Structure 1
C-alpha cells in the first residue's frame, strides 16, 4: 500500500481578498482529525452561533492560503459565497477518501450511473 495523502492543494474560484486588497487563491488543506471535531464542541462561538462551526473547522484544516501567515475564522468571514461553498465541498471530498461520486441519470436513455464530482477552480 502507498503512503496516506494527508494534504491537498486547492485553488479558490474567486479568492479571498485581504484588508490590503490582495487576492489569495491557492491553498493547502489537510485531512480533519478527531481533535478538530472535538475542539468544535468546546468552542464558545459555536454555542452562540452554530453555523460559525464551518468557519472554525475550515480555519483549522486550511494549512495555507496564498500569502496569509495564518487562516482564522475571521479571515474566512470575508470569503465570497462561491468560495465558501467550494471549500465546504472540498473539505467533504478529501475527508471522504476522495470519493465524490454522485448518482446521475442520462436524460436520453434513463440509464443510472455514477459520475465523479469535479469542482470548479480545482487544480
Structure 2
C-alpha cells in the first residue's frame, strides 16, 4: 500500500527509455524542505535556473514504470506535456496533500473531490 505521502500518477505521453520501452505509471512523494533547497547548490541550476525543476522532480519521483532510480538525465528525456503534467502534479500534492481538486456540481451545488492522477484530466 502506498502511504499518504506518496501519490500515483499516469503520464499523458510517457517516458521512452534507451531501449524503446514506454514508462507511464509512476509514484511521486511529497517534497521535503531539503528537496527544494539542495538543488540550489547544483552548478547546473546556478548556470540555468530552469534546470531546477528537473533536479527537483528526479528527487521526488520514486518510480516511473520499471525505473526505480530516476535522475535529472531521465527527466531531460520527458516530453514537454509530461514535464508540464509533473510540475502541476507536484504543486497540487505539495499544496493540498492530495492529488485531486475540489469541484462543485453545477446542478445541486454539492462539493466533492475529483482525483486527478493521469492523462485525460
Q: Under TM normalisation by the shorter chain, which class is it?
A: 0.7 to 0.9
Deviations 1:4-26 (A, max 9, x none): 71000000011000001000000
CA distance in 2, matches of 1:55, 1:77: 7
The offset of 1:39, in angstroms, is 0.3
The equivalent residue for 1:85 is: 84
The offset of 1:40, in angstroms, is 1.6
Contact 2:15 2:23 in 1 (8 A): yes
CA distance in 2, matches of 1:39, 1:100: 29
The equivalent residue for 2:32 is: 33
The equivalent residue for 1:65 is: 64
CA distance in 1, matches of 2:17, 2:11: 14
Contact 1:36 1:60 in 2 (8 A): yes
* Cα distance change on mapping 1:10 and 1:38 into 2, 3 Å: same
The offset of 1:120, in angstroms, is 4.8
Whose Rg is larger? 1
User: Which is worse superposed, 90-99 or 30-39?
Assistant: 90-99
**How many residue pairs align between the two structures?**
110
1:96 match: secondary structure: helix
List alignment gaps of at least 5 residues for structure 2. Answer: 107-112
Contact 1:12 1:122 in 2 (8 A): no
The equivalent residue for 2:21 is: 22
* Cα distance change on mapping 1:89 and 1:63 into 2, 3 Å: same
TM-score relative to the length of structure 1? 0.78
Deviations 1:76-106 (A, max 9, x none): 111111111100000000001137469xxx9
